[in-house]
Structure 1
Amino acid sequence: MSQLFITCAPAMEALLVDELALLDIPAKPGHGGVKADATLENAYRICLWSRLASRVLWPLIEGPAETADDIYALASQVLWPSHFSVNKRFAVDFTGASREIRHTQFGAMKIKDAIVDVFREERGQRPEVDVKEADIRVHAHLGKRGLAIYLDLVGKPLHQRGYRTQAGAAPLKESLAAAILYKLGWHKDNGLDYLVDPMCGSGTLVIEAALIRGKRAPGLKRSFAFENWSHHDSSIWAQELTAAIDAAVPIESHFFGFDSDKRVIEKARNNAKAAGVGRALTFETQPLKNLGEKPGERGLILCNPPYGERLGDMAEVLYLYRELGVKARQFMGWRLGVYTGSPESLRQLKLLKSNQWQLNNGALEAVLASYELDERQGEAPREAPAEVVQSALSGPVEAYANRLKKNIKALEKWAKREGIEAYRLYDADLPEYNAAVDRYGDCIVIQEYAPPKTIEPEKAARRLQDLIVATVAVTGVKADNIAVKTRARQSGSNQYEKLESRHKYMWVEEYGVRCRVNLFDYLDSGLFLDHRLTRKWVGEQAKGKRFLNLFCYTGTATLHAAKGGALTTTSVDMSRTYLDWAAENLRGNGFKGREHQLAQANVLDWLNRSQEKFDLVFLDPPTFSNSKRMEASFDVQRDHVELLDAVSYVLSPGAVVIFSNNKRHFKLDNAAVEEMGFQIEDVSRATLPEDFKRNPHIHVCFKLVFAPRD
């Protein structure tokens, strides 16, 4: 009889104690595993039958150890050649630390040295170390009570059952899938005759459920490190194998796995076949929206929906949860289990929760939520898609939904008449829903303004979630075509920050010009919607003019000038990325040639060097910039006089400068600007598009006519 240490993932210790009790092996929970007094027969049984354990560690020696010499001395007391032969490859796993031993690799090295030296002394030769393909694994843990050295009877972790030859993008470990099923009582409640996973991926949850119900030992299809151990008893192991084979029963429950991706469904079928349960399971390609009525009176709906790790995915994920909640009501009398790394998304189910457990997926924090689908959840919907929409528009968010509908009705005809495909639908019209909602053709961008500090973060997050789901429902835009971003109203140069790398570009039209936009990768899309009328005015004034676009960004104002017949265009910006974008915009509209110049430079430096003269200038500097390419920061309020003075030296008499910026409460230094020879006209209201009239402070804009004094 030896005291084994059986490791498992955190929070599974109590479940593992219960599982071992079913194998008639009493155990006590510890940290990261359980302890059990067991025979060799018991150890084999755990290796063969445990669905939750990671490793089964057989004790070799334990004693005080603080220093490297202590570790070496204790490990040297083990007669290693009695445990494995010199032709076996071995590896050492080390955990823990002491004042002197702070690196696990160093601790492992000292034990490895001891093993090799013992072999040399006893056998005159040494075994090879092979970390990846070891025949024998030694595990050591250094803690407050000293050093404990074990023989790992398992080898590859127990969750590697041997059936999962193919996996999806983010597969669950088999042991975690089993823990989820145990928490939901699948192994005890034989009245649950059906299991449905509507987002099954590579099928791990469904396969593990079938293995449990069919009493199939999870270790039957794999090998173990103890088979290379000198104390291995093949006769006892053969008895355990025979007993495990005899214990299997026919799988009478009905198992269904669905997924919208036919590629992962094929992987699920192959995995089920490898696990020996392929004939008992049904895997089909089917999106959640097509999930039908319940196939029987009692069962379990179980799924691990996408987490939405990127903010841009939030709309798709939230709407998926809302749809799942609606579909679940069609399974009255069943139980629902949802395992998620996004617990805040669970509220979109709109279901009364029975229980919730913290059950992390490795380093990722995650929860398992349980729901009894009974009369408390409300009646099952007759028409699920309509119910999803209705559910999304009920409650406090209804006021936002009504406002959005009203704005869409007022703006859609206007936009079509004007010939624009990108415009603002909503801009924090209601203080409770503090966001901007923009349409770009068949896509939507939701930009959440940073909430005030007086609003609790949880409350702000709930409101944003409801706004996103309601936007999907009202607009009818596919959830995966909705980008979600968070920004402060005063973004300064933050519009240039990169968020993702999807490289998903599209073209939208305004007044006959095609503009290339990217809705996911950057905080701004590449098209400032509030300057639409200003760009149109530039195009109307550009014929025969030499046009200059400073801080040109993606060159959209240049497009209008070129379309309007500008003699030449010059666009200046510090960013190579945005100049390349501007070049794509020009090519996409058929503008090419030497008459369209792009210059990468600091604007002030470029102005001080330029020998050219221009007749029309569009000047839209950032509110604030501290780019690495600049020697000093730029503040539009502080530095606009210096900037306009530099611009004045490249102007022809009578030239027009359109000067705009988005700084709230910006004050033009009229006296200084007039002293340079500019006539000033505030055209802020005249350049405010129809879709921004609800927010008259979105930008300031001035028409400056250069009339230098003699």
Structure 2
Amino acid sequence: MNQYLAVTSNGMENLLVEELTKLGIENAKPVQAGVKFKATNEQVYRCCLWSRLASRFVRVLSEFTCNNDMDLYLSTSAINWVNQFHSSKRFVVDFNGTNREIRNSQYGAMKVKDGIVDCFENKGLPRPNISKERPDVRIHVRLHKDKALLGIDMVGSGLHQRGYRPESGRAPLRETLASAIIMRCGWDGHQPLLDPMCGSGTLLIEAAMMAANMAPGVKRKQWGFEVLEDFEPETWAEIKSEANVQARRGVKKVDAKFFGFDNDPKVLKVAQENARRAGVEELIEFAQGDAATITRPAGFEHGVIVSNPPYGERLGTEPGLIALYTAFGGQLKSEFGGCKASIFSSSDELLSCLRMRADKQFKLNNGALPCHQKNYSIAERSADEVKGADTNVQIAPDFSNRLKKNIGKIGKWARKEKLDCYRIYDADLPEYNVAIDVYGDQIVIQEYAAPKNIPEEKAKRRLTDIIRATIQVTGVEANKVVLKVREKQKGRSQYQKLGQVSETLEVNEYGVKLIVNLHDYLDTGLFLDHKITRRRLGEMAQGKDFLNLFAYTGSATVHAAVGGARSTTTIDMSNTYLNWAKDNMQLNGCVGRQHRYEQADCLQWLENAKGEYDLIFIDPPTFSNSKRMETSFDVQRDHIKLMKNLKRLLRSEGTIVFSNNKRHFKMDEESLAELGLKAQNISSQTLPLDFARNKQIHNCWLVTHA
């Protein structure tokens, strides 16, 4: 007998012990991400062919203390490799782990390789060649601190590669993990089984192969042990023949029904092809369907629903997933009473949206991602009872009630003012620390980064509640809810690119049409707190030459142009936003040589600018230290210098509208007077109703010649 290590994922060790015991192994012991046992060649061949949970089997040749590279080399070269494989065979070393002395896995692999080839040379034999692409033999090494395990991979490519899935749907599960999920889902092998989000069909195919008692390795063409010196071809041929016969007979004996649904017809075709290659196509009925509206198929009595819904590891996908899980939970309760469900997900928050109490739960890893599998018993209730129960449950009552109140008050005002964009919630309740803005028929939820003393799981749960409650209260479709995370701004953070959705929306503000982008940037292209400021600029602009500095997407320029400005000049450092400003102007028919745009650092531009203007709008950042700016800018420290440069461009009867977002900003009126300028604070006049709670969102001043 030889010593072996069956490699698996964290959380699957005990399941693998049970499986190996059923395959005739008597001494299996779980270790982290694996199981150790002793076996004959015949037993290990059978394990390789029949294990649904192991990713590979390693013949352990040595376990030793490894403090440095010399320990590694000497322990490797001490093994009689000539007894393991012929020198004509190509090999590769899979080295996993590091320690204080061996800090690089490639270096560790090189020392193992040296020990192996030196063993052959010392016995007067040719050096075996290395082949990373198509090796005959894979050497497996695990190193953790000062403990090393060295062996030969009996399998070759990973056992999850069953041979039936050359292509996959979205984010496919490994076959080994799928098998573990099936084994723990509460299915007895005879009940009907349904996957409402089946993707490429892995869960159902693995279950069907189990029901047919079909060896998962029956389709594999090559095995690592076939090239070893002690390979027993006759023993292997007999084991393989038995499995082939069982596979053919087993399919005909299956009494369970399998149903797979997905809303993507292309992925369903992939699933059908996978089932055909696996030899179980006649057992599984695939059809197009949406988990959010799924109904019980004919013949599905007291069955099991098993699913691996999307988790949403990428920021911004949460609103749609929350709606999906919520609707899916409702369908499970209304359509599948008397059945059982088992749902696998990385997100406890999303699982909570099912609004079901789990009977059992297990921890498993999907790759490096910690996940939960939760099993549910679904009570028999009528659809009306389920709907009534779910409808009567108010999510986050305090938050929901505040949101309803705000919508009633602010929504009425916005309709009267003819505004498509306005804020309906701004961290009104400290524990629900978000801003919620309406943009036409869409909603943007901006989560302010939680304080460090708030546990991450608690913050996630609150955000999930916020999204669910917002969808419930507003009635907006989930695909029209956009989620963003705001942190403390550094410099001109509105220029930060988040994605490349490139989906824009046309909105109306006091009769002016503007373009917003809710997806690609941290900000949307429109600062909502300045809507009254922009309207006022439009009212002041008739027949005047208008200058807009730090113009962003030029929304203030558009208001001025629509208001009858004789000319406009728009300055910003970003070419992206200048082009956006041009698009905004064109949308309103404001085109012509009288409208100028210049890409420049506004502070440097002011140093050398020429010309005269009747109306100047400047809304600089509170602080800026951009790579493209040679010096830093602080609005409190530098606003007088700014005014000095602006005065040079301001006509005698002209007006500067100066705004910034610095809390507790103090205008240096004494220094301003020395420049021959005076200032009037109009902050309260420019604060719209939807920002009335946040009186320091901005401050705004009219600056004129004294």
Question: Aligned match of 1:312 in 309, 316, 328?
Answer: 316
* Partner in structure 1 of residue 22 of structure 2: 22
State the shift of 1:653 in Å.
0.7
* Partner in structure 1 of residue 506 of structure 2: 507
- For 1:544, give the aligned amino acid: G
Shifted more, 104-113 versus 16-25: the winner is 104-113
Counterpart Cα distance in 1 of 2:412 and 2:128: 80
CA contact (8 A) 2:293 2:328 kept: no
CA contact (8 A) 1:492 1:624 kept: yes
- For 1:583, give the aligned amino acid: K
1:644-655 alignment, distance < 5 Å:
644-655=643-654
SS at match of 2:217: coil
CA contact (8 A) 2:546 2:565 kept: yes
Counterpart Cα distance in 2 of 1:592 and 1:64: 78
State the shift of 1:154 in Å.
0.2
RMSD across aligned positions (CA): 2.8
**Measured at CA, do residues 633 and 246 of structure 1 come closer, stay the same or move farther in structure 2, by a change above 3 Å?**
same
- For 2:284, give the aligned amino acid: L
* Partner in structure 2 of residue 346 of structure 1: 351
Counterpart Cα distance in 1 of 2:223 and 2:588: 65
Counterpart Cα distance in 1 of 2:609 and 2:34: 72
State the shift of 1:544 in Å.
2.5
Identity of aligned residues (%): 47
Write the deviation string for residues 273-309 of structure 1: whole angstroms up to 9, x where unpaired.
1111112112222222221136533222222222222
1:258 matched to 2:261: yes
State the shift of 1:609 in Å.
0.6
State the shift of 1:416 in Å.
4.5
Counterpart Cα distance in 1 of 2:636 and 2:492: 14
* Partner in structure 2 of residue 334 of structure 1: 339
Counterpart Cα distance in 1 of 2:108 and 2:523: 51
**Measured at CA, do residues 101 and 450 of structure 1 come closer, stay the same or move farther in structure 2, by a change above 3 Å?**
closer
SS at match of 2:365: coil
1:271 matched to 2:274: yes
State the shift of 1:425 in Å.
2.3
Shifted more, 241-250 versus 453-462: the winner is 453-462
1:573-592 alignment, distance < 5 Å:
573-592=572-591
1:423-502 alignment, distance < 5 Å:
423-451=422-450, 458-487=457-486, 493-502=492-501
- For 2:363, give the aligned amino acid: Q
SS at match of 2:482: strand
Aligned length: 698
**Measured at CA, do residues 705 and 350 of structure 1 come closer, stay the same or move farther in structure 2, by a change above 3 Å?**
same
Write the deviation string for residues 358-381 of structure 1: whole angstroms up to 9, x where unpaired.
211111122222222237xxx453
Counterpart Cα distance in 2 of 1:413 and 1:614: 38
- For 1:115, give the aligned amino acid: I
**Measured at CA, do residues 200 and 8 of structure 1 come closer, stay the same or move farther in structure 2, by a change above 3 Å?**
same
SS at match of 1:158: coil
CA contact (8 A) 1:356 1:370 kept: yes
* Partner in structure 2 of residue 289 of structure 1: 292
CA contact (8 A) 1:508 1:516 kept: yes
Shifted more, 554-563 versus 104-113: the winner is 104-113
CA contact (8 A) 1:210 1:277 kept: yes
State the shift of 1:541 in Å.
2.2
* Partner in structure 1 of residue 540 of structure 2: 541
1:510-589 alignment, distance < 5 Å:
510-589=509-588
- For 1:199, give the aligned amino acid: M
* Partner in structure 2 of residue 57 of structure 1: 58
State the shift of 1:491 in Å.
7.7
SS at match of 1:686: helix
* Partner in structure 1 of residue 35 of structure 2: 34
* Partner in structure 1 of residue 113 of structure 2: 112
Counterpart Cα distance in 1 of 2:83 and 2:678: 98
CA contact (8 A) 1:322 1:388 kept: no
Write the deviation string for residues 487-543 of structure 1: whole angstroms up to 9, x where unpaired.
368886444333333333222222333322221222211101121121122122223
TM value normalised by structure 1: 0.91
CA contact (8 A) 1:62 1:146 kept: yes
Shifted more, 45-54 versus 580-589: the winner is 580-589
SS at match of 1:101: coil
**Measured at CA, do residues 533 and 99 of structure 1 come closer, stay the same or move farther in structure 2, by a change above 3 Å?**
closer
SS at match of 1:235: helix
Counterpart Cα distance in 1 of 2:665 and 2:137: 73
State the shift of 1:36 in Å.
1.2
**Measured at CA, do residues 683 and 369 of structure 1 come closer, stay the same or move farther in structure 2, by a change above 3 Å?**
same
- For 2:232, give the aligned amino acid: D
* Partner in structure 2 of residue 208 of structure 1: 206
Question: Aligned match of 2:383 in 381, 384, 389?
Answer: 381
* Partner in structure 2 of residue 174 of structure 1: 175
* Partner in structure 1 of residue 8 of structure 2: 8
CA contact (8 A) 1:90 1:135 kept: yes
Structure 2: tracts of 5 or more residues without a match: none
Counterpart Cα distance in 1 of 2:540 and 2:411: 28
SS at match of 2:597: strand
Question: Aligned match of 1:298 in 276, 291, 302?
Answer: 302
State the shift of 1:669 in Å.
2.7
State the shift of 1:116 in Å.
3.4
State the shift of 1:479 in Å.
1.3
Write the deviation string for residues 434-482 of structure 1: whole angstroms up to 9, x where unpaired.
3221111221101233456776654444332212112112323221221
**Measured at CA, do residues 453 and 58 of structure 1 come closer, stay the same or move farther in structure 2, by a change above 3 Å?**
closer
- For 1:333, give the aligned amino acid: G
Counterpart Cα distance in 1 of 2:546 and 2:389: 52
* Partner in structure 2 of residue 136 of structure 1: 137
* Partner in structure 2 of residue 224 of structure 1: 223
State the shift of 1:556 in Å.
1.0
**Measured at CA, do residues 108 and 567 of structure 1 come closer, stay the same or move farther in structure 2, by a change above 3 Å?**
same
SS at match of 1:359: strand
CA contact (8 A) 2:9 2:33 kept: yes
CA contact (8 A) 2:364 2:373 kept: yes
Counterpart Cα distance in 1 of 2:68 and 2:452: 51
Counterpart Cα distance in 2 of 1:435 and 1:97: 43
Shifted more, 465-474 versus 53-62: the winner is 53-62
Shifted more, 459-468 versus 149-158: the winner is 459-468
**Measured at CA, do residues 107 and 194 of structure 1 come closer, stay the same or move farther in structure 2, by a change above 3 Å?**
same
Counterpart Cα distance in 2 of 1:638 and 1:593: 38
1:357 matched to 2:362: yes
